[in-house]
Amino acid sequence: MSELPRSSSRRAARLAGLPLGIAGRAAGTLGRRAFGQNQGNLTAELADQAAEQVFAVLGELKGGAMKVGQALSVFEAGMPDKYAEPFREALTKLQAEAPPLPAAEVEKVLDAQLGLRWRERFAEFDGQAAAAASIGQVHRGVWSDGREVAVKVQYPGADEALRSDLRQLRRLAPMLRPLNPGTDIKGVIDELYDSAVSELDYRLEADTQRAFSAAYADDPLIRVPAVLASSPKVLVTEWADGRALSKVAADGSQEERNRAAELLSEFQFSSPTRVRMMHGDPHPGNFLLNDDGRMVVLDFGAAIPLPDGFPDVLTSMMRLALEDKGDELVTLMTRAGYVNRGGMDAADAMSFLGPFIEPMRVSEFHFDRAWMQGILNVYGDFSGKEFRTARSFTLPREYVLIHRVLSASVGMLCQLQATAPYRAIVERWMPEIFADES
């Protein structure tokens, strides 16, 4: 493979095959149902086949297609059990796996980005990828000063492929909804498209990672590897060992899962104060649990600038919901642009936001799939009052990224099925949320 397929027509044809293939299998399912086969078995078969097709196409194409798969994968904890299992394995693979770029192609990128004498900066360099992701892959090496390093190399053509994928996926969004009925897939794609340009320049990512690394230097809980060198399409950082949260969730002990959940929450709520930014790409492949007990945070291509810290509007909404002040909550949400023209009453507002502040009501909260499923069922029931509530709710553009990060983080906590002192962590970094409690 010399480079990613870049033309819109070639990539669109592959992506178009996703909904068409799923639709074709659905038609076959309906036919077999007409001849009396069990509906539950057929639905499970369809979900299993669709999951495999999703991974095969999105993983091979990388670019925006794979980034969408990564974004969706953190929400699998909220999918109904009868659908979740076949998607779980296929979507989780998207967080860390993809067909690698050959060594000869990697060297061409390094020659162009670091200069023809780049090898002199390394004591060792492994041409085989240690990990592959959406728009780049990671190689292991040893820097000239003896430090082990991670070298992230962007795929040739990734810039054009990313834009092409996301333009096409915008058109296909309604047909991709079966991956998770409770997720605003079009909104996720639009958001990814808007942030694509900054993610493609590794120099911007390097600047962001330097800020996080400095803020968490010598921190006993969080480690962000230091940046050693960068160019538009190559990034060299310190190497970091650890188990990805997807592995911890799959086979970690309860103690390890609880520890991972506590550290993840600590990082997400401390960074707006400590760095004036939030990590913008929360999926389990970007967080490692190290043997020393710390959380290692990777991949800073997407970050949310928060020059004034966590927005006052959001902390005020959380405070009012926590205090069950529904009328005041509606007033604030309306003023901030969260309410559509149809309006929203106090009960609607509390119903919509209540589940997200529930972990703050107790000293320790247990996050699990059943709880997440209950939340998403509220927004996936197209016949009930909750759906009317959901339709009256909108996200102001300036807060979309923050909501996605917080929601995805909760999704990871549920994947971990962990118990964490969530309230104490939030209170430590955002005491204003609890200021008026009696």
Other beta carbons within 10 angstroms of residue 300's beta carbon come to 27
CB-count burial class (<10 Å; 0-12, 13-18, 19+) for 253:
exposed
Task: Confirm if 82 and 236 have CB atoms less than 8 A apart.
Answer: no
What is the pLDDT at residue 22? Answer: 40
**Could you tell me how far CA 321 lies from the centroid of its own chain?**
25
Q: Phi first, then psi: what are they for 107, rounded to 5°?
A: -65, -35
Q: Which sequence spans correspond to the domains of the chain?
A: 1-200, 241-438
Give the integer Cα–Cα distance in Å for 188 and 91: 16
| Beta strands 277-279; 419-420: pairing state | unpaired
User: Mind listing the pLDDT tens digit of every residue in the chain (438 residues)?
Assistant: 444 444 445 555 554 454 444 444 433 333 333 334 444 443 445 545 555 555 555 555 555 555 555 555 545 544 555 544 544 555 455 444 456 788 999 999 999 999 999 999 999 999 999 987 667 899 999 999 999 999 999 988 877 766 666 666 666 556 555 544 444 556 656 666 666 667 788 999 999 999 999 999 999 999 999 999 999 999 999 999 999 999 999 999 999 999 999 999 999 999 999 999 999 888 888 999 999 999 999 999 889 999 999 999 999 999 999 999 999 999 999 999 888 766 788 887 887 777 779 999 999 999 998 888 776 655 444 344 444 555 566 778 788 788 878 888 988 999 999 999 999 999 999 999 998 765
| Radius of gyration of the CA atoms of the chain, in A | 22
What is the pLDDT at residue 387? Answer: 43
- Token pair of 305, please? 């600038």
Give the integer Cα–Cα distance in Å for 196 and 199: 5
| Beta strands 234-238; 222-223: pairing state | unpaired
Per-position DSSP letters for 142-170, written without gaps between them: EETTS-EEEEEEEPTTHHHHHHHHHHHHH
What is the pLDDT at residue 79? Answer: 52
Nearest to 208 by CA among 226, 188, 234: 226
What is the pLDDT at residue 6? Answer: 44
Angle at 129 between CA 127 and CA 131, to 5 degrees: 160
Give the integer Cα–Cα distance in Å for 306 and 276: 5
